[in-house]
Amino acid sequence: MMDFEPPLRLTLGGSALVSNWRALDKRSGAARAGAAVKADAYGLGAREVVARLRDAGCRDFFVAHWGEAEAIADLIPPEWIAVLNGISSADVPGARALGAIPVLNTVEQVELWRTSGGGRCHIMFDSGINRLGLGPEQLTAAAIHGVEVDLLLSHLASADADVAQNGAQLSSLQSVITTVNAKRRSFANSAGIMLGDDYHFDLTRPGLSLYGGIARSEMAAFIKPVVALSARLLQVRDVSAGSPIGYNATHICNADTRVGTISIGYADGYLRAFSGKGTARVGGHIVPVIGRVSMDLVTLDLTGIPDIGEGDWVELDYDLISASALTGLSQYELLTNLGSRFARVWR
Ligand SMILES: *Cc1c(COP(=O)(O)O)cnc(C)c1O
């Protein structure tokens, strides 16, 4: 294999990541903060994230799939990993060999865990999101006998908003707490941490805000950006007024224009929602995306920008709050869409 330098780069702030985890851990009060590292740590790269948070003192890591647990299991004791999406009978031998801990979501999964040997597990209680977990009718002492419950978890549906559903879910969780003889309890995601001590229990599970997402507006005061996107200029051309740019000529230049084409596209997660809306930075100038974002290319209006040419790097504006407002994509989508062609460079 030859080593080609990718023409697009994600610059990742290792100290910002750790600072965000510490800030969330502190705001979790008496509870510890864990880390949701599913979906390749929201697109950043799970192995790099896990190693850094482990060194910072994080001891609980949440993934969705068993394959995601396997991909990080050599970095930490496997029992520090919880697999949120549960377990099937086909998963059991691998799960036991790996040693990561299943989050059991149904009565059937508890039964499967018990009959295949029992032991340490986590239980998800559905307190009202109606998505995954045992509901109030299913979570009985009989249903969970014979397994050793480490964490009793539940997940908030609307912690990013001040709505009655938060309190209703809290009451629902409190009403089953004595039913389950769990070592620890966990309720809050990033946004839930800001709802106050009642929501913290023993362990919080931030994801988005570790990676720079502002899950609630008050978090902007202490959460630092972690991700920056840059791409190389592949070509610069001067076109005359009236020239069409890109697929379907969605942009017509209203004056003579210098057009720069950079090496990033929707296949990299820079979605078509940025067409004609996104902006980028070159040498201290802000330049607009013109025309449609295509699979591997984006066109910029570089008119009036001196001393820029083929091979130069351009930074895309990717502040999660503004990019979300601009495109209608959620901060979660903006992160998890980031593709595999980036060089991921940790600073
Ligand atoms: C993804 C996830 C989290 C993390 O949520 P954020 O909103 O990203 O902080 C926590 N708990 C569960 C069960 C999840 O699925």
How confident is the model over 325-347, as pLDDT tens digits?
Answer: 999 999 999 999 999 999 999 99
Pick the CATH number of 14-213 from 3.30.930.10, 2.40.160.20, 3.20.20.10, 3.30.1300.10: 3.20.20.10
Calculate how far, in angstroms, residue 97's C-alpha sits from the geometric centre of ligand 1: 26
pLDDT in tens, 159-194: 999 999 999 999 999 999 999 999 999 999 999 999
| Percentage of residues in the chain having pLDDT higher than 70 | 100
In tens, the pLDDT along 290-317 reads: 999 999 999 999 999 989 999 999 999 9
Which residues are known to be catalytic? 38, 247
204 pocket-lining for ligand 1 (C-beta < 6 Å): no
Task: Please give the Cα distance from 72 to 67 (Å, whole number).
Answer: 9
**Domain 227-318, CATH homologous superfamily name and number:** Lyase, Ornithine Decarboxylase; Chain A, domain 1 (2.40.37.10)
Q: Delimit the domains of the chain by residue range.
A: 14-213, 227-318
- Nearest by Cα to 347 from 209, 210, 225: 225
Give, using CA atoms, the residue closest to atom 12 of ligand 1.
Answer: 155
The CA 207 to ligand 1 mean position distance, Å, reads 6
Name the H helices within the chain. 14-27, 38-42, 46-56, 66-70, 92-98, 107-115, 164-176, 190-193, 320-327, 331-336
